Structure 1
């Protein structure tokens, strides 16, 4: 798939999911697919489902927290003992 086609799909996802540039950056950083984002748009019957931009932000925050905890544990393991 060429770059132009990929950009078109991301532009379509941005419009349909009402995403901003920051949220798109988060999604790309996590390796999410724009088609999967469009599939997760909640309809009227899915009131329990969060909007896509909130879903991405929550997932990004959880992953960053998990990575920070893992880095801290690794740092503590390598810390010289007195």
Structure 2
């Protein structure tokens, strides 16, 4: 069995919101690109007390089309794929930083000062 992929904490609220509000990966990606907060989704979708509000998926689609002039993103990735790419990018940066640090180490010891 493969080891379960670690998901950074900043992506967990998006996964919870996707499950709680039954949103698709495209809706989550659109909401992230719009700069919406997953913690505020409850107020965007409050249809019990405010029946005139449109459903959350439709609200996200309307806002996305208004701001970007298209119905959906060109490439839709799941939040898990975005998190995996984020982890891989950080690991690569860390490896590059270690490599640069080991290459720039002086081979001789600096002269001692009295």
Superposition CA RMSD, Å: 1.6
Distance 1:6 1:39 in 2: 21
Distance 2:48 2:41 in 1: 17
**8 A contact 1:16–1:38 mirrored in 2:** no
Query: Which structure is larger by alpha-carbon Rg, 1 or 2?
Result: 2
Helix, strand or coil at the partner of 1:27: helix
**8 A contact 1:23–1:57 mirrored in 2:** yes
Greater than 3 Å deviation, 4+ residue runs: none
Question: Which of 9, 26, 36 is the aligned partner of 1:5?
Answer: 9
**8 A contact 2:45–2:55 mirrored in 1:** yes
Alignment of 1:1-82 (within 5 A): 4-65=8-69
Structure 2 residue ranges without an equivalent (≥5): 1-6, 70-114
TM-score, normalization by structure 1: 0.66
**8 A contact 1:9–1:34 mirrored in 2:** yes
Following TM superposition, by how much is the alpha carbon of 1:54 offset from its aligned partner in structure 2, in angstroms? 0.6
Structure 1 residue ranges without an equivalent (≥5): 66-82
1:70 maps to what in 2? none
